[in-house]
Amino acid sequence: MRHITSTYIENLVVFKQQLLQWSQQFDDVVWMDSNQYDARYSSYDAILAVDAFMSIKTDYVHAFEKLQEFQESTKDWIFGYLTYDVKNGLEQLKSSNFDGLEFSDVCFFQPKRLFLIKGNQLEIQYLNMVDDEVESDLAEIASLQRLDSVSKTHPVKIKLRIHKDAYFEKVNSMLAHIHRGDIYEANFCQEFYAEDAEINPLDTFENLNSVSKPPFATFLKHYDKFLMSASPERYIKKEGQTIISQPIKGTAKRAADVIEDEQLKHDLEHNEKERSENIMIVDLVRNDLSKTAIKGSVNVEELCKVYSFPQVHQMISTVTSKILDTLSPIDVLKTTFPMGSMTGAPKLSAMKIIEDLEESKRGLYSGTVGYFTPEGDFDFNVVIRSILYNQSKKYVSYSVGSAITSKSNPASEYEECLIKAKAMRDVLEG
């Protein structure tokens, strides 16, 4: 059972900083921040879950069945992630590429302490075993002074897992598959990394979040492993019987000049290649949602709408469906995972070709982080625009990708990857 109380936040910006700083004493942390964006679909502006009471950590074998058992047994809030490689338990697939990060495939926990922020209202939910610590925790949080980079991030030298010429060759190989009819589209990704790297994860996240201000910003800590994410993309949300998926396909850079920036946005809106990328994935999402939807309930609410973020313009579509209330929430995840925007179409063929051409195991990159409510609702992002860190191994990584279609030009795709990587590289290299 949970003890629930609420209070008013005087200074939201300061309180968020204090709350995140306070959370670092715990081994398990999930912080999700909408940056006050996309209020139509967001249940909360920010959520912090810390201090695991019960948890599950497993590989991809029967991952969804194990997660369902954990979710149904707790009947409570649970937070965590699924890596991209959980796909291997759904189809005859593998993940044999280099893995410098070593995240487990699945990790979820039931938090003892939970903070839910909506506007300036803070709802606090503590498990009964720690409910007598609410006041002392709030006093400790309020007493914290925000310190500027107590643990300095050392200079990080970024390396490329795939160099430019090799990237061009691999994209041309992908195009050959497309021209043969093996696939219509595939998301091809490349890793940038640093070895022997020491960074301050919280400072790195706050810097990344401040320059990107995305709707699905996430800070995740599991002992020595960290995710610092500036994700702009929702994978999937369940609210009652309604399912919402918001795939992103189509990216353009921003410009300081207002007229030039508007032209870039206009050009993206009317770019035939970018629209075709998005529409292919919308069709894939519609097909995935139809597996659990009430007949006739799958609906495209927005198609190829361009949204502007501090770093980039993005083309986003919104697809919804209705499900029977007797359906397990895990079934919705299992029939849609991995998300179409990070795989391609047809999904299975695309995933096989991706594995052959990429050089790094994706792991948590292009996986998902999110939560389940006690009622079985959920909300999950897509782990992109993210820095990952294994503190024990001193290994830092971020990956970026783009959708390859018959209209793709390798040089243009490479440029798109660099645009997406800019914020992460700037934060790490200073």
Q: What does the pLDDT read at residue 150? A: 43
pLDDT tens track for 371-396: 999 999 999 999 999 999 999 999 99
CA distance 328 to 378: 11
pLDDT tens track for 64-87: 999 999 999 999 999 999 999 999
Indicate yes or no: pTM above 0.85.
yes
CA distance 274 to 251: 8
Does 167 score more than 50 pLDDT?
A: yes
Work out the burial of residue 250: count CB atoms within 10 Å of its CB; fewer than 13 is exposed, 13-18 middle, 19 or more buried: buried
CA distance 110 to 371: 10
Residue found by looking up tokens 């959920």 in the block? 378
**In sequence order, what are the residues at sequence separation of 6 or more whose Cβ sits closer than 8 angstroms to the Cβ of residue 73?**
none
The values of phi and psi at residue 207, to 5°, are -65, -45
Does 148 score more than 90 pLDDT?
A: no
Adjacent-strand bridge partners of 379: 237, 371
Which residues form the catalytic set?
233, 249
Does 149 score more than 60 pLDDT?
A: no
pLDDT band at 146 (very low <50, low <70, confident <90, very high): low
With a pLDDT cut of 90, the percent of the chain lying above it is: 92
Is the peptide bond preceding residue 346 cis, with omega within 30 degrees of 0?
yes
Q: What is the mean pLDDT of the chain?
A: 94
